[in-house]
């Protein structure tokens, strides 16, 4: 089963909207047979710094074969960083 990481805008958005967006993507990907890695479930508290979240998220991304870039990825500094890392690591990327 291919492992896929979800990347999209989180910071600066209402947490309820972010949670709904990532959960919908996770459900869709699971239905397609992927093992899904959702950065909202990285084990860190919301109070952790952006840098702490990025370190954890990039480590999770590195364990995946593929990355799904959600439509709002271009508006997110973190998602752009994740895309750059995915390219560097040779991951398959789906937009």
Tens digits of residue pLDDT in 13-69: 999 999 999 999 999 999 999 999 999 999 999 899 999 999 999 999 999 999 999
* pTM assigned to the model: 0.96
Residue 14's pLDDT is what?
Answer: 95
Residue 1's pLDDT is what?
Answer: 93
Residue 16's pLDDT is what?
Answer: 97
> Hunting for tokens 């089963």 — which residue is that?
1
Closest CA to 62 of 40, 94, 92, 86: 86
d(CA 32, CA 38): 15
Residue 72's pLDDT is what?
Answer: 94
Assign residue 13 a region (left: φ > 0; alpha: ψ between -120 and 50; beta: otherwise).
beta
Residue 47's pLDDT is what?
Answer: 92
Residue 90's pLDDT is what?
Answer: 98
């Amino acid at each position: 089963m291919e492992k896929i990481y979800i990347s999209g805008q989180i910071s600066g958005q209402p947490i309820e909207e972010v949670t709904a967006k990532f959960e919908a993507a996770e459900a869709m990907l699971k239905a397609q047979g992927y093992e899904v890695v959702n950065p909202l479930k990285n084990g860190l508290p919301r109070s952790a710094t952006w840098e702490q979240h990025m370190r954890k998220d990039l480590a999770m991304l590195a364990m995946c074969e593929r990355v799904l870039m959600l439509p709002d990825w271009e508006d997110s500094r973190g998602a752009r960083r994740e895309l750059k890392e995915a390219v560097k690591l040779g991951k398959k990327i789906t937009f």
